[in-house]
């Protein structure tokens, strides 16, 4: 009488009490442990319970989720994280230093950004490392400058005024040509656009 074939590795593991769970489900279960939220059992596998998290004004250090566990460090799968701080209505990048991040606001360049950091007395560290109080100081200083929508509106009104009074610069704006005396026989492609070939122009 032939003997029964030896049990497979999978069968042995099941007999020993090991349960095979797909990797995707393991990630979901792990995310619930990381976020400090209870895991619920669905169809034999553990899944993360829905997390109710309140969004903070500072979008840097991670959000308080579930039982109030604060999430720090690099982004982890399944953890609710926000990656930008909001300054002057603009989301500035979280992983750059303050001087560089501030230049993402329209109307603030390198010089102005350095000036803001000097006046506020803040350290030029990465945005995610700022405390809420430091961000408030930064926002208050940035709001003193003409930036974003106000600056765009200011520029637009100036150009409109030049067009209305029909001065030389206004006419150049209307014609879509360089305003400051640059040559137009060659170059000036930024204002004039792509070359339009005219047949029979050269003699």
Tokens of 39: 């895991």
Cα gap 65→61, rounded to integer Å: 12
Q: What is the pLDDT of residue 167?
A: 96
Q: What is the pLDDT of residue 150?
A: 92
Tell me what the mean pLDDT of segment 68-80 comes to: 50
Phi-psi region of 66 (alpha: psi -120 to 50; beta: other; left: phi over 0): left
Q: What is the pLDDT of residue 69?
A: 37
Element holding 30 (H helix, E strand): helix 23-35
Tokens of 152: 């765009």
Q: What is the pLDDT of residue 198?
A: 83
pTM of the model: 0.54
Tens of pLDDT along 7-49? 777 777 777 766 555 555 555 444 444 445 555 555 555 555 5
Q: How far is CA 23 from the centre of its chain?
A: 29
For 129, which DSSP code? Answer: G
Tell me what the mean pLDDT of segment 90-101 comes to: 89
Tens of pLDDT along 150-189? 999 999 999 999 999 999 999 999 999 999 999 999 999 9
Range of lowest pLDDT (66-80, 83-97, 157-171)? 66-80
pLDDT at 146 over 80: yes
Q: What is the pLDDT of residue 77?
A: 63
HSE, CB side, 13 Å, CA atoms: give it for residue 32: 16
Stronger pLDDT, 168 or 59, i.e. the higher one = 168
pLDDT at 141 over 50: yes
Cα gap 66→69, rounded to integer Å: 7
Q: What is the pLDDT of residue 1?
A: 59
Tell me what the mean pLDDT of segment 110-119 comes to: 93
Nearest partner of 48 among 36, 60, 63, 62, judged by Cα = 36
Cα gap 147→104, rounded to integer Å: 11
The strand pairing partners of 64, in sequence order, are 70
Tell me what the mean pLDDT of segment 131-138 comes to: 91
Cα gap 50→108, rounded to integer Å: 40
Tell me what the mean pLDDT of segment 64-73 comes to: 42
Cα gap 28→49, rounded to integer Å: 10
């Amino acid at each position: 009488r032939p003997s029964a074939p030896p049990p497979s590795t999978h069968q042995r593991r099941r007999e020993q009490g090991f349960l095979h769970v797909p990797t995707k489900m393991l990630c979901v279960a792990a995310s619930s442990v990381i976020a400090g939220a209870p895991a619920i059992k669905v169809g034999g596998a553990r899944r993360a319970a829905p997390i109710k998290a309140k969004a903070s004004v500072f979008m840097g250090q991670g959000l308080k989720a579930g039982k109030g566990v604060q999430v720090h460090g690099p982004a982890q799968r399944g953890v609710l994280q926000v990656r930008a701080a909001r300054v002057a209505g603009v989301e500035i990048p979280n992983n750059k230093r303050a001087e560089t991040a501030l230049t993402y606001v329209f109307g603030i360049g390198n010089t102005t950004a350095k000036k803001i950091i000097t006046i506020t007395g803040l350290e030029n560290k990465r945005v995610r490392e700022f405390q809420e109080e430091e961000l408030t100081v930064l926002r208050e200083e940035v709001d003193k400058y003409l930036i974003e929508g106000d600056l765009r509106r200011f520029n637009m009104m100036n150009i409109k005024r030049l067009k209305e009074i029909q001065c030389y610069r206004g006419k150049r704006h209307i014609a879509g040509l360089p305003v400051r005396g640059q040559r137009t026989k060659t170059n000036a492609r930024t204002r004039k656009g792509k070359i339009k070939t005219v047949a029979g122009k050269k003699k």
